[in-house]
Structure 1
Amino acid sequence: MSSEDFSFVDGDSSGGLDQVLRDINKYKTQYEAVLSEQKILRDGIANNKDFAKQFKKRAEDRRASIEDENKKRMKIIQKEKDKCRAVEDENTKLQMEILNIKEEMQSLDRKNSNLKQQTEISTAVPERKVVFRGETKEGVHVVSFDVNPRIVYPMEGGTALITFEEEDVAQKILNLKDHSVELGDCTISVQAKPIQFLVPSYVEMETQVCPRRILVSNLPKEEPEERVLDKLDIHFSRTKNGGGEVEDTDMLHDSGTVVITFVEDNIAKQLCDKQDHEVEFGRKRYKVKVTPFLNGEISQMKICNSACTRTVLLTGIPNIMDKDNLQDNLEIHFQKTANGGGEVEGIVYNPVGHTTMALFDEDSAKDSEDM
């Protein structure tokens, strides 16, 4: 160490040391203050780092929470969208149903409008008893059936139909079955059998107004049929009377009405709308009534077995005398109570080798009791 290193202690050395010590303490104090500030800064930095870490964690947690909430919200929004889509689909479906209902209502309105001019028939045919009254028709073309019982029964040769006034008499004859009938010097054996028919028990018909036909009623009864048809043809063929070209006129004898068929479709409706028409028959004018003509078609029919309670079929009758004498002898035999018979209302005999159609009508004699 050289003398220059301690050159500052020359002179008053005690004062210089004190100053140095004071400086040292001062700097030491400053140093400690710096260390303290550094510690505070380090603690602040550590706290800031901890706060930053906590903040980051909270930010991450918040971000995760927000993402979860967004996911939940998206799910809710998707569900609501699905509900809205379902509601829209349901609305579309309901609108289609409304359109279909409107179309159906329009169709029903059109049908109702047409039904004002139509008559629908849907009825059960009541059970009615029939009876043979002795009327016959030749040929097979007379076979027919309508709502009023009128049944055509083909008779074989060597048979007879006999109708009694009382049902119990017919039943006695049927119970006896075999009968011996005296014909002068000889006796024949005949068999009694019941008469049964298959008849409609229920009939449904669908009808609609014919666009080219009208039904004319309230016709003058004193005029000949040909004159009535001619006058109607002339009247309804004129356009000033609301008519048109007539294709055909036909008299319905069972009802006393006339069916007129036009060439065009629109004539019948306008005539029916007016209904009452005055037709000239020479110097006289008659008010006739025009109504729609209905075309009918059977849509459903049920058949049942019906017995004829007062008529008996006799079979096995030989051809041994003329028809009228044999028929009279049969009637006489079955009128006698001793033979189990009673009052005969009608009888017809059909000889061997012949064909006859017997007509059975409604048994009006029993209507008041059976209906």
Structure 2
Amino acid sequence: MYSELTPGECWYRRFLIPRKVKLNWTQTQLDSTMSSEEDFSLISEPTEETVDGVRALIKIEKDKWSQLQIEHSDLRASISEIQSLTFQFKERTKVLLQQVDQAWTRDQHRDQSESVCVQQLMLLQLEQEELRLEEERVLSELQNEEELYERLKEEAQVVSAAPERPLVFRGVTVPADAPIFLMDAQVHLPMEGGTALITFEEVEVAQRILSMHRHKVDLGGEFYMNVEARGVTITSPCTVEVQVQVCPHMVLVSGLPQMDSQTLQDKLHIHFSRSKNGGGEVDEVHLQEGGGTATISFVNDDVSKRLTDKQFHDVKLTEGVHRVRVSPFLSGDITHLQSRRDLCLRTVLLTGIPDIADPESLQDLIEIHFQRSSSGGGEVEGLLYCPEGKRRTALLCSKKRE
């Protein structure tokens, strides 16, 4: 009676640990050359630092994918075998019931035979229930394997379909702890009336102006005005953690040519809204600043996957057909943010400026004064003046990296 079969045969279990994509960014100290284009960067924990490292990661992910496909096939074979065993048990149960009916007519000890048959039937029912539970467990594990398979497949597609960027070696090696992701600062600093922001090319000049504190600005003839120099402090993030995921209804289009933005936007809208091109109803087309890339959002979620699976698309433009690359669009949420206050080393805030001349002339007089070495100044990189009774917003940007 199937005593050789064990309910635990022909299957195995794997514990799945979902993977979580997380970037941990840390910011290095603001560069000593912070100005109206002030420096700072967001730093994340390093993973791979070279192209070879990225290729190795892709190979590892593909190997995992292949292994999962093998395990996926094994699990399906196990389910098929268990279902076959269940069917055999049912058929043998039917045969046993027929034998029990025949035994009742032949056997003079009907009660004893009935008891034996009932026990055997109960054993078969218990074995059948165990097989049913085992089948449910295998199906649950198969579902988990399929979810992991789809997730790894999606990650492999994101890595392999990332937009290509030309790399040029400049002869400088990067330290092992160098950040992978860098972001330029854009700090909006409100200005009160009667103030001015002045940025010097040298840190020493700005610090000298701050140490002198009060300055007597010559206005021509016997006229002058007294202003005060103060340091500029800004709040900037130092640690950022972002959880990213593939957006199901958006794609990133790269490799776009330089042309009229409105025309390019219309051409992309027309091409990717046609079903014969693998597209669908377009919700919005947004060109990224700097050109070369654009994001396209669709009404239906299944459109983006079709486009990214094909990757390369030939878009008909004004001057012929141009090949672009469509990649998955990654969206993220900030899960952790830490900030700190830093002093701008090359920027000085001047206060107490009276409204005694037109703003342009007064700004020129201030710049001339602080460019003179006799006044303790030096070469001025930028100056922004806000007259009394008005409010302005100064934009402090990171200094462009060479």
Q: Quick check: TM above 0.5?
A: yes
* 8 Å contact from structure 2 (residues 24, 239) kept in 1: no
| Superposed displacement of residue 245, structure 1 | 1.4
Query: Which residue, out of 308, 315, 329, partners 2:351?
Result: 315
Q: Hey, what does 1:131 align to over in structure 2?
A: 35
Q: How does 1:73-84 map to 2 (within 5 A)?
A: none
Q: Hey, what does 1:304 align to over in structure 2?
A: 340
Q: Hey, what does 1:196 align to over in structure 2?
A: 233
Q: Hey, what does 2:378 align to over in structure 1?
A: 342
Task: Name the SS of the counterpart of 1:244 in structure 2.
Answer: coil
Q: How does 1:1-371 map to 2 (within 5 A)?
A: 102=14, 104-105=15-16, 108=17, 111=18, 120-129=22-31, 130-132=34-36, 147-184=183-220, 185-221=222-258, 223-254=259-290, 256-282=292-318, 284-364=320-400
Which letter maps to 2:251? Answer: I
**Whose helix fraction is larger, Structure 1's or Structure 2's?**
1
| Superposed displacement of residue 308, structure 1 | 0.8
TM-score, structure 1 normalization: 0.62
Q: Distance in 1 between matches of 2:293 and 2:379?
A: 39
Q: Distance in 1 between matches of 2:314 and 2:22?
A: 29
Q: Distance in 2 between matches of 1:256 and 1:197?
A: 33
Q: Hey, what does 2:105 align to over in structure 1?
A: none
* 8 Å contact from structure 1 (residues 181, 188) kept in 2: yes
Deviation digits for residues 26-49 of structure 1 (CA, Å, limit 9, x no counterpart): xxxxxxxxxxxxxxxxxxxxxxxx
| Superposed displacement of residue 349, structure 1 | 1.2
* 8 Å contact from structure 1 (residues 192, 313) kept in 2: yes
- 5+ unaligned residues in a row in structure 1: which ranges? 1-94, 135-145
| Superposed displacement of residue 305, structure 1 | 1.4
Q: Distance in 2 between matches of 1:328 and 1:241?
A: 58
TM-score, structure 2 normalization: 0.58
Deviation digits for residues 121-144 of structure 1 (CA, Å, limit 9, x no counterpart): 32223333331169xxxxxxxxxx
Counterparts in 2 of 1:149 and 1:173: CA distance versus 1, 3 Å: same
Q: Hey, what does 1:32 align to over in structure 2?
A: none
* % identical aligned pairs: 42
Instruction: Could you list the structure 1 runs, at least 4 aligned residues long, displaced by more than 4 angstroms after superposition.
Output: none
Task: Name the SS of the counterpart of 1:131 in structure 2.
Answer: coil
Deviation digits for residues 279-310 of structure 1 (CA, Å, limit 9, x no counterpart): 11145110001111111111111111111111
Deviation digits for residues 253-284 of structure 1 (CA, Å, limit 9, x no counterpart): 24542111111111101211221111111451
| Superposed displacement of residue 181, structure 1 | 1.2
- 5+ unaligned residues in a row in structure 2: which ranges? 1-7, 39-181
| Superposed displacement of residue 363, structure 1 | 2.9
